[in-house]
Amino acid sequence: MQNQYYVYILASKRNGTLYTGFSSNLVKRNYEHRNGIIEGFTTRYTVKMLVYYEIYFDPTEAIIREKRLKTWNRKWKLELIEKQNPDWEDLYYKIIK
């Protein structure tokens, strides 16, 4: 089985504070964000909702995409989220099933 890598966006609420990240274990990393296990931006700004993610099989491609998304302006990120997740559903509950 091939490893998967994820680029994801978390939000504090609909149209709230956004955080873009990368992980090889989306469930575990989101659990850490949700429970404040690792201190930092997401803990400080209560950014817990998984609102967008992409899957990659090449870690280099995923890291490049994460860095690219981090340079995007807020409007572009909101449009990306709205296109895939117009209701701003917390996708965490779909990935843990």
| The domain defined by 5-95 carries CATH number 3.40.50.300 | no
Q: What are phi and psi of 37, to 5 degrees?
A: -70, -35
Percent of the chain with pLDDT over 70: 99
Q: Which helix (H) or strand (E) holds 11?
A: strand 5-11
Sorted by where each begins, the domain ranges of the chain are: 5-95
Angstrom distance (rounded) from CA 66 to CA 53: 10
Query: What per-residue confidence (pLDDT) applies to 1?
Result: 65
The tens digit of pLDDT for each residue in 53-81 reads 999 999 999 999 999 999 999 999 999 99
Q: Are 50 and 8 a contacting pair, CB within 8 Å? A: yes
Look at residue 97 in the predicted model and tell me its pLDDT. 76
